[in-house]
Structure 1
Amino acid sequence: MLRETPFDQWYEDLHAICGAYDGVPQRGQRAVKGQIGVHGFDHLDVADVWGNVAKIERDRAGIRRDENEYIFFVIEMTGTLAVDHNESQSRLTPGDCLLLDSTKEGVLHMAEDSSRLMSVHLPRQSFLSERRPGVRIGERLDAGNPVNAMLTKHFFRFFNENGAGDRQGNATLLFDMIHLAFSRPEDGLAGIELSNAADRYELALDLIDTHLTADYLSLPWLAAQLGQSERQIQRLFQAQGTSFIDLVRSKRYRFVTEHLNHLPHVHGRISDIAYRAGFQDLSNFNRGFRARFGMSPRDYHRRRHEAPPHMA
């Protein structure tokens, strides 16, 4: 029998684990049949969400409030889940999966007494940048898909339905299996209609995310991919209050901090991470890091992993 949780507590637990995703109660609802839990899979967090709320939604205000960015690998456990995300509408039943992008708006309708999902939090910049492009966001992968079956078998081998289990799963392997399950052959940009500046900007962001660590990523390369002049691309970024260079540097620093946040020990690996992110000059990288975060990369890592002070 499901435990009842006061709605306000359920709402706060959801925020604490998933960030600014807002639970919306059913009319007059004061208690939720279910609860929110969090578990570990290697260095990844896994949210365990039970509830009969009307929906969970992510809007532009929620996106702006969150400092961290994730790709959420969602597995429906019981009940059904209707998802509206990334211009796709999907209905998940037990065993079905999809990916959610925390930088995009979305709505999850879960108004069933037994609705339960699990969500693996994948650091977004690392997930998109280190693996092949063409990942399908917001599109259902049904339980009968052979790749899905292999993926979920790997997941539950280390993490059973009740959230117990070994919890020593290989996060890198899970990353790769999710990419395999949700990737499609890259068709190139032929035939994509770029009818307005918003579409061009969204496509530019996608290209930067999936080619972030490549040596060839540059303004001329991006302009060629979009079939625009460099001046047109510059104006595209200026309209968003940024520039190509500033945006790429920001995403590359996020790539580095995501790795520093999750690696318990670095021991000389910071330079390797910086090179993998696309930085080619370590001196400039270190100066820029200090200017952005007010400390060196090593001090940043130490502060993220230092033990909390002992409470008397």
Structure 2
Amino acid sequence: MNKLTANNLERWNYSVHAVCGNFLTHPSDHINTFIGNIQHHDLGGLNLADIRVNASSIRRERGNADRGDDRYYFLVLQRAGQMGVVHHDKNFALNPGDMALLDSAQPFEMQPKGLISQLSIHLERDAVDRFLPAHSCRFGKLQQSSLSGRLLHGMLQQMIEGKTSIKIDNQHGEALQDALISLLCPSLRMNGTIKNGSSLFQLAEQLINESLLDPPSPAEIAARLNVSVRHLYRHFELNGVSIGRYIQRQRLRYSARELAQIGNTSKTITTIAYKWGFSDSAHFSRAFKRQYGMTPRDYCARNKDIHEAAISSSNQNMIEDL
């Protein structure tokens, strides 16, 4: 890394931490000079970040409620350039004019394709959770085909164009934030949610399964569903399972799915265990045996025998047909 890039990266890291929170930036190996500029604007308490950067990766670790660095959702307008966003096992692309909602409490990675420019509006978490239905998606690309989506896009364009000349007080800043959040609702609901009338348990299941590699805490789930933690625990108990046990059961289910294919991949049992949140392979083996009645190794061997028997039977049938 040359001296100019090192200095630019240091200034960028200082600015982005001050304005947006804890992000880890990696400059591109294919570009001689790192570019990273961020301008902060305050519209009556509503924070705007005008960003230009050509990093290869900008990664957000999961926000920590104790430190207060998960206070915001980032409403993003991609102004120029292309960027990929990776969230758990899902990813989507942002092209010029696209909008997205990103959650500061969730881990995600932004992957610019060269120099990009974007506007990021910091929406207060409490305000977003108060407006949006509990089952609404809170992370992903926004639809713009509806009237509300087009109005939201127009508002963001006007905000970036008049950011230095607009002077408003906190009352108008709160009203502006409420307007943005209200326009978010239809665009987020179009991204796919549980149908109305679903039980609290089903809604909690969805929130957990959407982020199974890094699931929300019971307090976070309860806040999203606008219930007390005690009430949430009670609903899980009524379904015969604790929240922790449900998460483990789902992780074991996905582990078993990958273990059944282990002969066709380079993955090991330990790799799969670590992927699904088991840092101790012995604990993984015990938990797996309790749920499936056999160890992970025996499960792999059984599925391998079944697979080989199926192939043998298929080959025999082909010979008989000939």
What corresponds to 1:164 in structure 2?
Answer: 164
Q: Deviations over 1:80-113 (max 9, x none)?
A: 1100125431101111111111111100001312
Contact kept? 1:90, 1:138, Cα under 8 Å:
no
2:114 counterpart letter in structure 1: E
Shift in CA distance, 233/80, structure 1 to aligned 2, threshold 3 Å: closer
Shift of 1:116: 0.9
Shift in CA distance, 160/136, structure 1 to aligned 2, threshold 3 Å: same
Pair 1:178 & 2:178 matched = no
What corresponds to 1:210 in structure 2?
Answer: 224
2:222 counterpart letter in structure 1: I
Q: How far apart in 2 are the matches of 1:79 and 1:27? A: 18
Q: How far apart in 2 are the matches of 1:53 and 1:200? A: 25
Q: How far apart in 1 are the matches of 2:77 and 2:26? A: 21
* TM-score, with structure 1 as normaliser: 0.60
Pair 1:224 & 2:249 matched = no
- Alignment match of 1:108 (pick from 107, 110, 121): 110
What corresponds to 1:251 in structure 2?
Answer: none
What corresponds to 2:274 in structure 1?
Answer: none
Q: How far apart in 2 are the matches of 1:36 and 1:204? A: 35
Contact kept? 2:76, 2:118, Cα under 8 Å:
yes
Q: How far apart in 2 are the matches of 1:148 and 1:40? A: 24
2:230 counterpart letter in structure 1: L
Q: How many correspondences in the alignment?
A: 226
Q: How far apart in 2 are the matches of 1:137 and 1:31? A: 35
Shift in CA distance, 145/11, structure 1 to aligned 2, threshold 3 Å: farther
Shift in CA distance, 110/78, structure 1 to aligned 2, threshold 3 Å: same
1:232 counterpart letter in structure 2: S
Shift of 1:32: 2.8
What corresponds to 1:75 in structure 2?
Answer: 77
Q: How far apart in 1 are the matches of 2:34 and 2:66? A: 25
Shift of 1:160: 3.1
Shift of 1:166: 2.2
Shift of 1:24: 1.1
Contact kept? 1:88, 1:138, Cα under 8 Å:
no
What corresponds to 1:33 in structure 2?
Answer: 35
Q: Deviations over 1:89-143 (max 9, x none)?
A: 1101111111111111100001312x01111111213321343222323321255
Shift in CA distance, 90/145, structure 1 to aligned 2, threshold 3 Å: farther
Shift in CA distance, 131/149, structure 1 to aligned 2, threshold 3 Å: same
What corresponds to 1:24 in structure 2?
Answer: 26
Shift in CA distance, 107/65, structure 1 to aligned 2, threshold 3 Å: farther
What corresponds to 1:84 in structure 2?
Answer: 86
**Rg larger for:** 2
Tell me how large the CA RMSD over aligned residues is: 3.7
Q: How far apart in 1 are the matches of 2:83 and 2:214? A: 31
Shift in CA distance, 181/198, structure 1 to aligned 2, threshold 3 Å: closer
Shift of 1:56: 0.7
Q: Deviations over 1:172-192 (max 9, x none)?
A: 212222233223564225595
1:175 counterpart letter in structure 2: I
Unpaired stretches in structure 1, ≥5 consecutive residues: 238-312
Shift of 1:150: 1.0
Q: Deviations over 1:250-284 (max 9, x none)?
A: xxxxxxxxxxxxxxxxxxxxxxxxxxxxxxxxxxx
* TM-score, with structure 2 as normaliser: 0.58
Shift of 1:155: 2.8
Q: How far apart in 2 are the matches of 1:198 and 1:72? A: 22
Shift of 1:59: 2.3
What corresponds to 1:138 in structure 2?
Answer: 139
Q: How far apart in 2 are the matches of 1:53 and 1:201? A: 28
Shift in CA distance, 219/20, structure 1 to aligned 2, threshold 3 Å: same
1:208 counterpart letter in structure 2: A
Higher relative helix content? 2
2:151 counterpart letter in structure 1: M
Unpaired stretches in structure 2, ≥5 consecutive residues: 248-322
- Identical amino acids, percent of aligned pairs: 19
Secondary structure at 1:19's aligned position in 2? Answer: coil
Contact kept? 1:81, 1:110, Cα under 8 Å:
yes
Contact kept? 2:9, 2:36, Cα under 8 Å:
no
Contact kept? 1:82, 1:90, Cα under 8 Å:
yes
